[in-house]
Homo-oligomer: A and B are copies of this chain.
Amino acid sequence: MISSITARAIVYNQYGEPKDEIKCHSYKINLENLKPDDIVVESIACPINPSDINQIQGVYPSKPPLSLTSLPNLNNPAAVTGNEGLFKVIAKGSNVNNFENGDWCIPKNVNFGTWCTHKSALNNEFIKIPKTISINEAATIAVNPSSAYQMLTYFEKLQPGDWFIQNGANSQVGRAAIQIAKKLGLNSLNIVRNRDNINELKNDLISLGATKVITEDDNNSKDFGKTIKSWLNGKEIKLGLNCVGGSSVTGLARKLGHDATLLTYGGMSMKPVILPTSLFIFKNLTAKGFWITGNITRFPNSRLETIEAVIKMMEDGDIVEPSYEETNVKISELTDDKLLEIFVNGLINSKQGKQLIKFE
């Protein structure tokens, strides 16, 4: 057995444009004589999420401190990038009973620094993940499907047959919400931007379990309201999910019934949340925010409960594997420059599509 390995991690020393600020830091991890409660993990896969990018930009409210103790042998205060990712255990201390070598795990908390090849940490910083789900599912379970699950179940007590409405329905959260809703027996009214291949997209979302898919033009049209009313057949929509803002959320909110909840979890249009006064006063609308990171402390156990529920749905085939652009990395052939190049390219490509870095 080898006694030590070279670990590489993507770090930054100051906030700024992500592709310019990230660096690769390498150091040794000793696999023998571990502290009794520590485990050493090797990366299997990690996504590049918008919140990772916003952290490096310095504009995200939750971020790891820039510290000399983030990793061994740092010359300047640094933070390790990445909040989500799948690891496997490759070594463990003498007290560790909850993990065996080869087990899969994900970080229990955010700000863990997942853009790396290896990490040594306390075993209780991880949640074990069964191998009954795929690598891609496990590596991306903690943010998008978990957000969808909590938004659909933590706020309004929806019953089978009830409706919710969402914009940005083709996002990873939106697609997860469609599938989770179907499993829960809920109807979904899904808003997407118009595009050339709109029917293809509609069919794609319908195949995931969407009840109805409409365009933003439909959402903003007064006439189209009658069509929606006929679909609802007397029911009122009790929950809205907004990741767009601007006129999209105005149109979405107008579809909500009395005493409904509107959850804002993103602002892709870069415009604020604009809501008619009358919806607040006369329809008793409640508008709240949703931030899964905030919920880790706000609802203790929420992360574990949520991940267990989502794993079950993935195992049962209720949620299909999310689609990512994948980059495959051979850890044994890596250099510092090579790992940095992979993540710089990942950041650049993430403007076009969701990126997943897979290690082997």
| A contact set with B: CB distance below 8 Å | 61, 245, 250, 264-267, 272-291, 294, 298
Contacts and interface: CB of A to CB of B under 8 A. Distances in A.
Given A250-B272, A272-B250, A281 B277 contact: no
Contact of A289 (B245, B265, B280, B294): B280
Given A272-B274, A273-B275, A280 B284 contact: no
Contacts of A290: 280-281
Contacts of A281: 264-267, 289-291, 294
A49 to B, nearest CB: 14
A288 B282 contact: no
A60 to B, nearest CB: 8
A283 B289 contact: yes
Given A267-B277, A281-B291, A282-B294, 7 more contacts: A264-B277, A272-B277, A273-B276, A280-B288, A281-B290, A284-B289, A284-B291
17 contacts: A245-B277, A250-B272, A264-B277, A267-B277, A272-B274, A275-B287, A280-B287, A280-B288, A280-B290, A281-B289, A282-B289, A282-B291, A283-B289, A284-B294, A284-B298, A285-B287, A287-B287
A285 B290 CA distance: 10
B265 A273 contact: no
A288 B282 CA distance: 11
Contacts of A283: 289
B61 A282 contact: yes
Nearest to A284: B289
Nearest to A279: B289
A151 B164 CA distance: 29
B277 A274 contact: no
B266 A277 contact: yes
